[in-house]
Amino acid sequence: MAPRLCYDARRKGVSGVMMATFGLGKIVLYAADPEAVSAFYARAAGLSFDRVEGTRRYESMSTGGTALVIDLALEPLSRGRRECALSLRVPNLDAVAAGLREDGIDVGPILERPSGLFASLKDPDGRDVELWEPRAKPVSVAPPPLVDKSALDARALSSDKPSVAPEPPSMLELPRIAPPPLPPPPVPLPANVPALVDRPADVEPPAIVDNPAAVEPPAIVDKPPVRLEMHSALDLEKEAKAAVEGATKAEGEGEGAATEKRGTEPPPPPPMMGAPGPVVTAARPAKVSVQGGTKISLYGANFAEGCRVLVDGDDCTKPKRIDDFTLEIEAPPHAPGSAEIVIENPDEQRSVIQIVYDEGPSIERFSPLEGSPRGGTEVVVEGRNFEDGCRVTFFGNRAPEVIFEGPSRIRFVTPPQEQLFHGELRVTNPDGLSALAADLFTYRLATPHAREVSPASGLVGGSKRITVTGVDFHPQCVARLGGRQAAVTFRSAESLELVTPRANEPGPVDLEIENPDGQITKLEGVFTYEAEPTPPLLVEVRPDRGYCAGGQTIRLVGDNFEADTVVRIGEVRAISRTGSRHEIEVELPQRPQPGLVAIELVDRFGVVVRREDAFTYESRPAPRVDGVTPRNGPMVGGTRIVLEGDFFDEHVFVRIGGQAPKRAVVRSATTIEIVAPPSRASGFVDIEVGRGDAGTTVVKNAFRYDPSPAPAIDSVAPNKGSVEGGTEVSIEGKNFVAEAAVLFGGKPAQRVKFVSASTLEVKTPPGKNGEMVDVVVRNPDGKEAITKRAFLYDARYRS
C-alpha cells in the first residue's frame, strides 16, 4: 500500500515557465480500519486527528509542515507488509518505547546504528513503523596551524610586523612546512559563523615542533563549536619560543642526556576555548494567548543542561529540556504584543527569539445547553475575537461545519454521540489560538421508566439475580437498591438483569435506574430484603439404597421442608413432592454406576444443605425363576403358565422356545403369568426371563409341547359361491386351533374365524367360474385336513 503524497506539484504556466513547488503537504495512508490506525498514531507519534464530516478520513492537526492523513482503503487490504513505512523521530527512544509497551503496543528491541537508536513496531494494518532517536552528527575539527621554528626565527629577525599564520595543510598531507611568504590579509568569515573573540590573555600558545608529521589531530567532538579563537603569527612565534625553552630545560635536567633533542615529543592538542553557545531557530506556536498556559516548543541547538528561559527578561518559566535541540516551556500571562524569549546556558551564553501574544477567542454564552445524542441540534456560541475560518472541537471531535456570523457569534450543528454525555467545547482560530468551555453541553437521552421487578424479594446477604422491566434503559445505566449499587447486565432497552447487593437489615428498599445523562427512574419499596432463613434439615433417608435403573420411590425425613425445596441425589435433580415440613417423597433418578452418593436440599433462597454418602446405588440382579406350572401343553399353544421366582417387574421380558408368549402379566416381584404360543414341533423348550439392565435367566427344558391330533373336515357349507370371493362358508370338523389356516384351491381364505375346535367360519378367496376346488385346514404344527373338490365357483352367485 503506497502512500499518496499531496503537494503543490510543479506546473507549466502559459509561458512554459516552471513554477516552484511549495513543499510536501500531506502523507495519506489508506487503511482497512482508519479509526484504529489513527488511534495508534495518536499514541505512538503524539498526533491529534480531526475526522472529516461524512467520511472515515482522519487528518492530523498541524499549524505548519507536513500533515498525516488516515483514509479508508478503496479495496480490502490483506494483513501484512505495506508498500511504505514511517520513520518517527523521537527525543528519548527508551522512554517512548516503555510508554508504548505500557499501552499494550508491541515494540521491538532497541538497536544501535551509526545514525542513532532504532526500534520497530507495526500499526493495526500491519504497516512497519520505525522509531528513531538521531545521534548528533560528529564534526571534524582541523588541527591548529603547524609552523617550522627556523622559519619563524628568520622572519622574526627580518621584520618587526606581526605576521598571520598560514592556512593549515590538508589533514591527509602533513609535510614539513617551509618558511612561508608573507600571508595575504585575513579572509572575512561567512555571515552564518558566530562572532569571533580575542584569545584570552591567560591562555598559553601551542608549542611549535620540528616534525609536524608526528602531531596527531585533535579528537572528534559531538557538536561543532560556535565560537573560534584566531591568533597572529607573532603570537605563534612567542608560543613556539616558550615551548622550545621549556623543552630544552627539561632535557638538560635529565640524567645521561648526551645531545639536545628538540621537538621529538609532540605537545598535547590545544584546549577548547569554551563550549558553543545556544542557537534558537524556531518557536512553535509563534502566537500564544495573553492568558498564558500555552505549551511552546523551542527548536535549535546547544541547549545545555540547566539552561534558563526568560520571557521579556523575567525568569518566569520552568523549561523542560527534551534534548540538545528541543525545549518545552509554558507561556506565562502577558500583555498583547511581541515578547522576547531568551535561552541562557549556565555559561551565560544566550540566544533570542520573538513570539507574539494575542487575546485570542473567548466563549461567553452557549445555547442550547442540551440536545439529542442522535445529533442535529443547532448550537449558537457567543463571545469575542472569533475569526472567519475558525473550527469547533466538540467532545474531542471536530464539528462538521462552523457558520461564522461575526467576531462575536458562530453556529454549528452537533454530531451524533454514543459514549460521552458531558463534554468540552473548544473554538480554535486559524492562527492556532483557542478558547475552551468544559462540560458546557449535555447529550440528553430519553427518560428511563422502570415498571416491574421480578422476583421482588431476596435475602439480606444479596447475590440474588432479579429482572427489571421498563423502557428507555441505556447500556451504560447504573442501578441502585437501597442506595447500594447493584451489578447490571444490559439485556435490552426494556430489560435489565441485576445482582442484588448485601443489605444491612431486612425490609423494603427503593430501586433507582440512572442513565449516563443523569436522568433517574425510581420505584419506591419495590424490593424486599428478607432475613436469612433456617435451612432445611435432613434426618433420614428411607430406604437408603436403590437400583441404578432408578424409578424407586424413597422418602426424606427431616424438618423445614417447603413446597419449592429442590432435591438432588448424586448431583442429579430428582422429581419430588413435599408432603409436609417433615417429609418429601422422591423418585430415584437413574445412575450409570453403583456407589455412594450425596443428597442435597436447596431452599427457595438458594441455601444448600448437603449430606455426603447418604444413599447407595446398587446394580439390579437378574430375574430368578424358581418354578414353572404346568410343565407341558399342546403344540397349538394357549396353555396358561405361571412362573415363580424373584426380581420380577414390569420391565422384564419372557420367551418360550425363543418365542414371545401371547400374553404376559407381572403379578408381583415373584410371580408372572403367561400364555404359551403355538409350536411347530413337539418336545421340550427353554424359558427365558430377563431385564435389559440386569441380564437374563434361562431355565433349560422348562416346558414340553405335546403332539396334537391332525384336524378333520366333516362338511363345507355352502359348497358353492361367487367367483368374486367373499362367500361366507362354515367348516365343521374337529381338532381345529385358533391359528389354523384355510385354503380354497391353494389360495388362503380372506378371513378365518376360530369358533371352536370343531367349527371355523371363513370367507372364500376369488376363483374361476365352474372350477371345483379342494378345501384345506392346516394347524400351526403343520398337520392338515383336505376335502377334494369341496367348493364350486359359480358366476351366477353373488357374494
CB count within 10 Å of CB 83 equals 8
Q: How far apart are CA 532 and CA 301, in angstroms?
A: 75
> Per residue in 382-428, pLDDT tens?
999 999 989 888 777 766 688 999 999 999 888 887 666 677 888 88
- So what's the pLDDT on residue 118? 80
* Per-residue confidence band for 708, with pLDDT thresholds at 50, 70 and 90: confident
- So what's the pLDDT on residue 80? 55
Could you write out the DSSP letters of every residue in 245-257?
HHHHHHHHHSTT-
Residue whose cell numbers read 563549536: 225
Q: How far apart are CA 299 and CA 284, in angstroms?
A: 8
Nearest-5° Cα angle at 231, 230 to 236: 145
Q: What is the DSSP letter of 12?
A: B
Q: How far apart are CA 512 and CA 495, in angstroms?
A: 14
- So what's the pLDDT on residue 55? 81
Reduce the DSSP state of residue 322 to 3 states and report it. Answer: strand
In sequence order, the β-bridge partners of residue 555 are 542, 585
- So what's the pLDDT on residue 691? 85
Show the cell assigned to 123.
500499526
Between 290 and 599, the more confident residue is 599
Residue 679, Cα to own-chain centre: how many angstroms? 75
Could you write out the DSSP letters of every residue in 169-217?
PPTT--PPPPPPPPPPPPPPPPTTSPPPBPPPTTSPPPPP-S-GGGPPP
Give the Å distances, CA to CA, from 283 to 166, 313, 429, 431, 436. 42, 17, 19, 14, 23
Show the cell assigned to 445.
437521552
Question: What is the model's pTM?
Answer: 0.31
Residue whose cell numbers read 456570523: 405
End-to-end CA distance of the chain, in Å? Answer: 95
Are 605 and 462 in contact by the 8 Å Cβ rule? The answer is no
Q: How far apart are CA 570 and CA 601, in angstroms?
A: 12
Are 609 and 538 in contact by the 8 Å Cβ rule? The answer is yes
- So what's the pLDDT on residue 165? 44
For residue 225, the one-letter residue type is P
CB count within 10 Å of CB 409 equals 14
- So what's the pLDDT on residue 682? 83
- So what's the pLDDT on residue 435? 84
Q: What is the DSSP letter of 581?
A: T
Show the cell assigned to 407.
467576531
Is pLDDT above 60 for 624? Answer: yes
| Percent of the chain clearing pLDDT 70 (strictly above) | 76
Q: What is the DSSP letter of 102?
A: H
Is pLDDT above 50 for 228? Answer: no
* Per-residue confidence band for 235, with pLDDT thresholds at 50, 70 and 90: very low
> Per residue in 157-208, pLDDT tens?
444 444 444 444 433 333 344 444 444 554 444 444 444 334 444 444 444 4
Q: How far apart are CA 239 and CA 150, in angstroms?
A: 14
Residue 404, Cα to own-chain centre: how many angstroms? 43
- So what's the pLDDT on residue 585? 94
**Rounded average pLDDT over 678-698:** 87
- So what's the pLDDT on residue 250? 47
Is pLDDT above 90 for 574? Answer: yes
* Per-residue confidence band for 517, with pLDDT thresholds at 50, 70 and 90: confident
Are 527 and 457 in contact by the 8 Å Cβ rule? The answer is yes
264-273, 297-306, 557-566: the lowest-pLDDT one: 264-273
Give the Å distances, CA to CA, from 517 to 415, 417, 447, 469, 520. 17, 12, 9, 20, 9
Is pLDDT above 50 for 59? Answer: yes
* Of 383, 327, 391, 375, residue with least CA distance to 359: 383
- So what's the pLDDT on residue 177? 40
Between 157 and 463, the more confident residue is 463
Q: How far apart are CA 410 and CA 366, in angstroms?
A: 10
Question: 156 CB contacts (<8 Å, ≥6 apart)?
Answer: 234, 237
Q: How far apart are CA 429 and CA 435, in angstroms?
A: 9
- Count Cβ atoms within 10 A of the Cβ of residue 715 and give its class: 0-12 exposed, 13-18 middle, 19 or more buried: exposed
Is pLDDT above 70 for 610? Answer: yes
- So what's the pLDDT on residue 743? 95
- So what's the pLDDT on residue 617? 93
Q: What is the mean pLDDT of the chain?
A: 78
395 Rama class: left (phi>0) / alpha (psi -120 to 50) / beta: left
- So what's the pLDDT on residue 261? 41
| Percent of the chain clearing pLDDT 90 (strictly above) | 36
Are 692 and 622 in contact by the 8 Å Cβ rule? The answer is no
- So what's the pLDDT on residue 169? 40
Are 454 and 467 in contact by the 8 Å Cβ rule? The answer is yes
> Per residue in 641-654, pLDDT tens?
999 999 888 889 99
In angstroms and rounded to an integer, the radius of gyration of the C-alpha atoms of the chain is: 56
- So what's the pLDDT on residue 196? 36
Show the cell assigned to 687.
424359558
Q: How far apart are CA 425 and CA 409, in angstroms?
A: 14
267-271, 373-377, 629-633: the lowest-pLDDT one: 267-271
Is pLDDT above 80 for 127? Answer: no
- So what's the pLDDT on residue 263? 44
- So what's the pLDDT on residue 252? 47
